[in-house]
Amino acid sequence: MDNNNLETIVFGGGCFWCVESCFNLLKGVDAAISGYSGGHKDNPTYQEVCTGETGHAEVVQITYNPSIISYEQLMDVFFFLHDPTQLNRQGNDIGTQYRSVIYYKDTAEKQKAEQAIQVSQASGRWAGTYVTELAPLEKFWPAEQYHQGYYNENPTQPYCSAVVGPKIQKFKKYFGELGMLNAE
């Protein structure tokens, strides 16, 4: 991939194991990295973020080539992968660290995020009002190495087999039919 044309986006849609695994399968995505943003502590650990006391969200930083996959397509995937009407939770994962959030770099990206929220909400994919937070990106902290590619390394771990695996299969079916996935 031509590194000169790559852009990044950071967002959170619940557990980063689900989100990261799916985005790494998309054509045009160079890397999806699990991490933390939006908190008040430098270099937080997973254990600290899980307490909810640092203010961080579990997020994924996506590095992508916009000539292959657009910001709007990434937002469509983002809103497919999580329920943006659930405040501070995704399913049984409860806490501010699981909030729906898009971190933007500048005013233009904020406007694109606002538009993506409007488009997704108008689609009727999710019933209810979206609670997705928009916030300026201050810092992205990569999660510990064992979180990177966690599902691929631990597909039989109970949470992965019960929650992550089925979500990935649903994602693969839908976006595979659209021709958006890398060849396996």
Query: Tell me, what's the pLDDT at 4?
Result: 75
- Could you list the mean pLDDT of each consecutive 10-residue stretch along the chain, which spans 184 residues? 83 95 97 97 97 97 97 97 96 95 97 97 95 98 97 94 94 96 87
Query: Tell me, what's the pLDDT at 1?
Result: 53
Residue 18 bears catalytic tag: no
Residue 158 inside a domain? The answer is yes
Number of domains in the chain: 1
Query: Tell me, what's the pLDDT at 184?
Result: 73
Residue 104 inside a domain? The answer is yes
Coil/strand/helix, residue 3: helix
Coil/strand/helix, residue 162: helix
Taking the alpha carbons at both ends of the chain, their separation in whole angstroms is: 17
CATH number at 51 reads: 3.30.1060.10
Residue with tokens 């809103």: 79
* Catalytically annotated residue among 15, 18, 22, 160: 15
Residue with tokens 């203010």: 55
Query: Tell me, what's the pLDDT at 175?
Result: 97
Residue 184 inside a domain? The answer is no
Residue 21 inside a domain? The answer is yes
**Other beta carbons within 10 Å of 5:** 11
Residue 183 inside a domain? The answer is no
pTM: 0.95
12 close to 99: Cβ distance less than 8 angstroms: yes
Domain that holds residue 76: 7-178
Residue 1 inside a domain? The answer is no
